Amino acid sequence: MVVWGRMLGRLLGHSTGLWQRVAQLVLCPTRSAGSRTMNAQDMALQMADPGKEAFRNERRPTSFDKKVLVWSGRFKKEEDIPRHISSEVLDTARNIARIKVCYIMIALTVLGCVAIIITGKEAAKKHQTLLRVNAEKNAKWRAAVEKGQEAAAGKSQ
């Protein structure tokens, strides 16, 4: 990371220390975010109940959160979900649900493309090309305009 920061600093003409910090944030975001130390209150909570995390990291799930947790496969039923869950569990469940939605959208897009290809080939067999359909519409419009002009010319005489 130090090398990247120095290279960016030389390329962009700014201090290398600034770009070292930027490179550290971009290349290793978990390391820079997780480098904060625990304060005394967090340490006291960990010492008092080692299996229990600090309460501020937990939250009460909403009904939508419960549906996401069940759909992502984290819990079997909504009744199995505890009263408070950690934000990491909820974030993981949301990411899994987001990925499933993306897969469904990809599958629907592929199915739509296949359906368009099939209908296009059937239309081509029937000689219903877009060019021919547009030419027929234009011919009908021209005929309607000519009839309107003839009717207007007949009334004026």
| Integer Cα distance of 111 and 103 in angstroms | 12
Which stretch of DSSP H or E encloses residue 76? none
Q: Report pLDDT for 83.
A: 87
Phi, psi of 73 (to 5 degrees): 95, 5
> Is the pLDDT reported for residue 15 higher than 90?
no
Average pLDDT over the chain reads 77
Residue that is written with structure tokens 């990411």 in the block: 95
Question: Domain residues of the chain, as ranges?
Answer: 57-124, 127-157
Specify the amino acid at residue 144: A
**Tens digits of residue pLDDT in 46-99:** 554 555 555 556 888 899 989 999 998 888 888 888 888 888 888 999 999 999
DSSP β-bridge partners for residue 85: 59
SS3 152: helix
Is residue 134 very low, low, confident or very high in pLDDT (cuts 50, 70, 90)?
Answer: very high
Residue that is written with structure tokens 């008092």 in the block: 48
Q: Are 99 and 120 in contact (CB under 8 A)?
A: no
pTM over 0.75: no
